[in-house]
Homo-oligomer: A and B are copies of this chain.
Amino acid sequence: MKARVTVTLKSGVLDPQGKAIEGALRSLGIDGVAAVRQGKVFDIELDGGDRAKVEALLKQAADKLLANTVIENYHVEVLG
């Protein structure tokens, strides 16, 4: 079973990375970029096939490890 956990910064939290990338895109001549926020994805392969169980497991993983819930949100998607 495959799943993807996407971790993004909460809105309002400073994103130095996004800011630097924004600037770099502009100086590369890529116009029209108003804002960039950088996040992470984790592509995870799991043994076992119970969708609901896997989802619960990954929420736990995100809470405990993959996301820093003080400043980040996450989203779990089981791809089957």
On A, residues with C-beta under 8 Å from B are 6, 8, 18, 21, 24-25, 28, 30-48, 54, 57, 60-61, 64-66
Contact = CB atoms under 8 A, between A and B. Distances in A.
Contacts of A43: 8, 36-39
Contact of A38 (B24, B32, B42, B45): B42
Given A38-B41, A40-B40, A42-B21, A32 B61 contact: no
Nearest to A7: B41
A40 B39 contact: yes
A48 B30 CA distance: 13
Contacts of A48: 32
Contacts of A54: 32
